[in-house]
Structure formats: C-alpha cells, structure tokens
A and B are shown apart, each in its own frame.
Chain A
Amino acid sequence: DIVMTQTPLSSPVTLGQPASMSCRSSQSLVHSDGNTYLSWLHQRPGQSPRLLIFEISKRFSGVPDRFTGSGAGTDFTLKISRVEAEDVGIYYCIQGTQFPYTFGQGTNLEIK
C-alpha cells in the first residue's frame, strides 16, 4: 500500500498570512495513463470533506485561486496565499493512483 505522510500535523497561521503544507507518498503516484492522482481535501468541523485540488494542481469548481497545488512524483504541496477565517479545518491529501486509495493523516489549520 502507498503510505501518505503529511507535514505539519498542525499549522497555526495569522489571518491574511500564507500557509503551506506538504504531502509525501512512499512511491510515485504517476499512473500508467500518465496522470498523477493526488488530490487535496478540506474538512471544516462538523462537515463533510470537500475537494479543493485534483491531479496535483487543478482547482475544483468554485475553489478560490488563493489555493494552489504543486509537486510531482512523490512530493506535493498545498499553499494558501492569504489565509481567511473560513480556511480553518483539516486538510487531507489522498492518492487515487492505485487501490487501496490512501489518505494522509491530515494537517490541522488553525488561526493564531
């Protein structure tokens, strides 16, 4: 199974400041079809997860452009250019390149 490791596990950030989090996979996420199925999800307290970024860097419909995904192979990053209050919650990376799909442990974004 592919192991997904997220860092940091907790990230206190000041409103209006940038935030960054990392996700590393134990093996390459490049699929045989050439795509890399690495996505980022955001879960606010008491809510279902929602998709932010898919295939490393593609923003899902309605996601603000302050969210940017990047990376390749086994190392991936999610950046928020200016954190807003609504961004609090847990961010998960997930690999969908091969079954079993696997999630990172989550990064808890909180406001200082």
Chain B
Amino acid sequence: EVVLLESGGDLIQPGGSLRLSCEASGFTFARFAMSWVRQAPGKGLEWVSGINPGGEGTYYADSVEGRFTISRDNSENKVYLQMTSLRVDDSAMYYCAPGGILWGQGTLVTVSS
C-alpha cells in the first residue's frame, strides 16, 4: 500500500520560510519522479515543483521559481520543499505526489499576517 506522509505545514507570516517534508512507503521511491502539488481553498490543483528519480533535475512552476527548492533523499524515501519569501497566495494544502498521480493527506500552509 502506498503511503505518503506530508508534514511541515504551518501558519507563517508573509516573507517567512517553511520546509515541507514527505515520507513515502509502499513503492520503489528511487524509481519515481516526485512532485509537489498545491490546492488553494476552493480552487483546482496546481503543480508546484518536480524532481527526477535521481535528483539530477529539478523543475518549478513560474509562480515559485527562485523562491522554492525541491530536494530528495532516496536513502530515506523522503522529498522536501524548502519555501522562502512566502506570499499570501502561497496559502494552500500541499501534497507530495509521485508521478503527479498518487496522493497523501497533504499539509496545510497558511501565509497570513
């Protein structure tokens, strides 16, 4: 059974930083590209960032380029999203999604003063 445990979400002030983590199990983690996807309240799904299976390539949505950094640790089956210069419109539920298609419960990020 695939299990994805996201953590690290919090209430943070604009301009602040957060690090999200996702621990995966139930599949061969090192073989999958991993993505972070977010969903603002009442809105659709927005792909945020992705990383190749070996970590050699990282990709970002224009809306987060230069502010967010994705990384992974294949020895621990974990993927991370370092978020800096957070804005109010970054507020959303954040999901880690292998291949963009498998989902956990998400972790909530709220950016507000």
Residues of A within 8 A of B (CB): 37, 39, 41, 43, 48-51, 54, 90, 92, 94, 96, 99-103, 105-106
Contact = CB atoms under 8 A, between A and B. Distances in A.
Contacts of A103: 44-47
Contacts of B102: 51
Interface footprint category on B: 20 to 34
Contacts of B59: 99-100
Q: Which 4 A-B pairs have the closest CB atoms?
A: A99-B59, A101-B47, A101-B100, A48-B103
A51 B103 contact: yes
A39 B45 CA distance: 14
A49 B46 contact: no
A96 B99 contact: yes
Nearest to B4: A48
B9 interface: no
